[in-house]
Structure 1
Amino acid sequence: MIPSSYDSIKKYFEIYNRSKDIPAHLSKVHSVDWNADGRRLASGSFDKTVSLFSFSNEKLTKEHIFKGHTDSVDQLCWHPMNSDLLATASLDKTVRLWDARSVKCVATIETPGENINISWAPDGQTIAVGNKEDVVTFIDARACKLRTQKEFKFEVNEISWNKENDLFFLTSGQGCVYVLNYPNLEQQYVINAHLATCFCIEFDPTGKYFAVGSADAMVSIWDSNNFACLRTVSRLEWPARAISFSYDGKLLASASEDMFIDISYVETGDRVFAVPTESPTFTIAFHPKKYILAYACDDKDGHQRDAGTVKLFGFKSSDS
C-alpha cells in the first residue's frame, strides 16, 4: 500500500526506515539512476566503470559491469522510455550508450571536453552533455552524432529539459537558473533562484514542479508553469548537492555534506523523514514506482567502508 497524505507517509517511513548496502565499485560512486520501469539501477564511478543492477522482490542484484571509459564516469541517465538504454558522461571526453539487454556498449560519441553532467530529453531524441568548460553539446540519440553545441559565459552546473521538451534549463554559479527555448536555444528567462551557486535542478515526474539546490544550503520548489517560487526547504547546513522527486511528485529528497538526507513533503515543505548517513551524499534517485531511495555516500574522511557502495533506503525495519 502506498500512503497518500502527509501523516500516512510519515508513518510509512517510520516503518520502512531501513537501508541496505550493496557493493558496486572499487572507489567513489558519482551517480545513480533508475531506469524507466524501475527494474534496473545503474551507478557510475571514479573507477571508470558502470555497474548495472536488476531490482525485483525488493532485492538489488548486480548484473554486469560496463567497462570502456578511460576516466571517471561523472554522471549517467537512462532513456526516458526505453528501459534498456543507458547514457554515461565521462571525463574521458566521450558519451557512451549501453544496452542493458546485450550488456554492451552500442555507441561511443566523442565530445569537445571533459564531461561532468548529462540529461536525456523527455522525447528520447536528444542527449545533452555539459563539460568543465561550460560547453553543452546536444547529441542526436538515434544517429549517435553531435547535433549542435553551445558555449556559455557563465558556470554551468546541471542541465535539464522541462517535461514539455520545449524549454532547456541550466543552473549557474551566480545563483540563477537560465531558461532557453528548445531547439533554438535562445535565452528566454533568467530566474534569480538563490543568493549563491545553484548546483542541481530536477523536474517532478508530473511536470508540476521543479526544484533547485544551492550552495546557500537551501532547496527551492518552483511552479513549472509560471516560474514562481512556492516554498523553500532550509534544514540543510551544507550546500544542497543532489535532489530527487518521488514518482508521484509528493516527496523531495535533498542531499549534501550533512550526515542525513532530508525527505520533504512537497506541498508544505515539512520534513517527512531524515535518512541518517555516515558521510556526505552527492547522488540520490527515487525509484520510479516506489518510495525507495537509491543513494551513494562519499568515501573520504576515513569512511572507507562506504567506498564504491550503493545504498537503498525504504525497507521495513526488522523491529516493526
Structure 2
Amino acid sequence: MSDNQVKFLETRSMTVPLSDEITKAFILETREKKNIEDVEDERYTHVLTHSKSRFAPPISPNEIITLEFHPSGNYFAYSRVDGSLNIWRFPTGSGKFSKEVQYTYVRDCVNSERVATGLSWNPREISHLAAASNSNEILIWTHDSYKKTITKLKTLFVKSFKTKINQCLYDPTGKWLLGTTKQELLYLFNVKNEYSLDLTFNLWEKLKYQSSITSITWNNSGSYLFLGLKNGKIILLQIKQNNDILDFDLVIEIDAHRSSINNLKMDPCGRFIIAGSADGTCSVWDTTNLCSIHVITDLDAAVVSLDINDLGKILAICTGDDQIFFYDTNNFKILERSTIESLRSDAIVKFHPNRSWCLLSSKGDTLKHYIASTDDEVQYWKVKYENNLSAIRNGKTTSNTIKSTPQSTRGSSNRKVMKSRDRHSNTRRHGEIPRGTRYGND
C-alpha cells in the first residue's frame, strides 16, 4: 500500500481535501499498466498485423468520429472515417474485454459514400441507435449483440435534399430526438409518436446573425437545449408547448469564448455545464443562473474532447497537442496530466455512464480501456478502508495499516463532492433550471 493511501485511510472523517486525495489515488490506479487494456476491434487487429510486417507501407489513419455509451452502460458504439461502425456489449464482472464479449463490426454502416457523423442511443430502448450522416436523413437501427448484426428500423427524412444533418441526440427522457445541421436548422422528432417531425427551427432567424452549430447537449431533464457555436457563443433554448404548438424559446445568449466551442457537457448532478473551446480554455457555468464560476486556462492547445464521470467528480479533457488532463470538479485543480503517444488524429475520451473507468484514444487510432479495482472513487475508498479494518481485526497491523478505526463516514460525506445516483434503482438526480430565474420559468 502506498504512503498516499495510508495517509487518506488514517483520516477519521470525510472532508473535501480527503475526497480530493481519494479521487487522485483512484485516477492513478487506472493509469497503472496492469489496469490498461486494448480494445481489440478490427482496427486493433489491422494495426497489430501491420506492425509485425517488415515490408508493409505506412499505415493509413482511420480516426474515430464519434463514440457514445448507452445510458445503461451495457453498450457503446463508435464510427470511423472509413465508414465503419463498431458496437460492443460491455462485459460484466471485471469489465475486461475478451473473445467471448459480443462485438459487432459493420463495414459500411450508412452506405459506401457516407460516414456516421453522429450517434445517439435511445435511453428507453436498450438496442436502438440513431445515426446522422451529413445528409437529409437519420437512420434508426436495432442491434442484436448475439447475432452481431444491426437492422434498420426506420429512416427519418426531411424534405430538402440540400439539408445536411450531421448531429443527432436523444434527450435524457427518450421523448425527443434532435437533429441539427452545421448551419441554422434544428429538427425535433417525437419518439413516442412514431418519430413524427414535430418542429423545424431556424436558429439564424431567431438570433438575427449567422454562426455554425459546433456542439449540442440537453440538460438532465430534457427541457432545455444548449448549443455551442463557432463564434464562441453558448445558446440556451427551452422547449415550449402550448396546446398543439411546439417551439423553441430563446432563453439567453452567452459570449463564452473567443473561438469555436467544440464540446459541451452537462454535469450528471446538474450543477454546471462545461464548454471546451478551440481557444484552449474550458469554462464552467452554474446552471442556476448561467454565470461563469471557473475558467480552466492551463491548457496548451485547443480542446478536442471532454467528459465528466458519473459521480460528477472527475473532468477529463483532451487537447489538440495529444495531452489528457484530469481535474477535480470540486475545486478544478489538476489531478493528473499525461501524453497520448503516437496519435495522428484528435483524441477522444469517454467515461462509463455508471463507472469512473474510461475509454481513450491510443496510437494508430486504436482505443484503450482504463479501469481500476473498483467501479468508482467512492467504492475505492470503501474497499481500501475495509481491507485495513480486516487486517487490524486479524492482528496483522503493520506500519502500512491504520492503527485505529476511523469513525463511520456514513452521512458525513461531502454532499457537494460525492453526489451519486442510487445504483440499484438506476436513477439519477436531474439538474433543473430553477423557477423564478431571470430567464423564465420551466
TM-score, normalising length from structure 1? 0.87
* Corresponding residue number in structure 1 for 2:197: 146
1:1-320 alignment runs, 5 A limit: 5-17=19-31, 18=33, 19-24=36-41, 27-56=62-91, 57-60=94-97, 61-66=101-106, 67-70=108-111, 71-101=114-144, 103-111=150-158, 112=160, 113-142=163-192, 143-153=194-204, 154-183=211-240, 184-278=247-341, 279=343, 280-296=345-361, 305-306=364-365, 309-315=366-372
Indicate the SS of the match to 1:182.
strand
Superposed CA RMSD:
2.3
Unaligned runs of 5+ in 1: 298-302
CA distance in 2, matches of 1:286, 1:152: 31
CA distance in 2, matches of 1:156, 1:291: 30
Cα distance, 1:168 vs structure 2? 1.4
CA distance in 1, matches of 2:236, 2:138: 24
CA distance in 2, matches of 1:24, 1:130: 30
Indicate the SS of the match to 1:83.
coil
Instruction: Tell me which amino acid in the other structure corresponds to 2:84.
Output: T
Would the alpha carbon gap of residues 83 and 295 (structure 1) be closer, same or farther in structure 2, given more than 3 Å must change?
farther
Instruction: Tell me which amino acid in the other structure corresponds to 1:135.
Output: L
Percent identity over the alignment is 19
| Conservation of the 8 A alpha-carbon contact between 2:360 and 2:369 | yes
CA distance in 1, matches of 2:72, 2:200: 31
Cα distance, 1:89 vs structure 2? 1.5
| Conservation of the 8 A alpha-carbon contact between 1:296 and 1:310 | yes
| Conservation of the 8 A alpha-carbon contact between 2:26 and 2:372 | no
Greater displacement, 154-163 / 20-29 = 20-29
Structure with bigger helix share is: 2
CA distance in 1, matches of 2:173, 2:336: 33
Would the alpha carbon gap of residues 69 and 202 (structure 1) be closer, same or farther in structure 2, given more than 3 Å must change?
same
| Conservation of the 8 A alpha-carbon contact between 1:171 and 1:178 | yes
Unaligned runs of 5+ in 2: 1-13, 44-61, 205-210, 241-246, 374-442
TM-score, normalising length from structure 2? 0.64
Instruction: Tell me which amino acid in the other structure corresponds to 2:249.
Output: E
CA distance in 2, matches of 1:258, 1:315: 26
CA distance in 2, matches of 1:172, 1:273: 29
Cα distance, 1:265 vs structure 2? 0.7
| Conservation of the 8 A alpha-carbon contact between 2:135 and 2:166 | no
Greater displacement, 128-137 / 222-231 = 128-137
CA distance in 1, matches of 2:129, 2:338: 28
Would the alpha carbon gap of residues 131 and 311 (structure 1) be closer, same or farther in structure 2, given more than 3 Å must change?
farther
CA distance in 1, matches of 2:174, 2:133: 20
In the alignment of these two chains, the number of paired residues is 306
CA distance in 2, matches of 1:282, 1:165: 28
Cα distance, 1:282 vs structure 2? 4.2
Instruction: Tell me which amino acid in the other structure corresponds to 1:199.
Output: N
| Conservation of the 8 A alpha-carbon contact between 2:230 and 2:260 | yes
Structure with bigger strand share is: 1
Cα distance, 1:257 vs structure 2? 1.1
Greater displacement, 245-254 / 4-13 = 4-13
* Corresponding residue number in structure 1 for 2:52: none
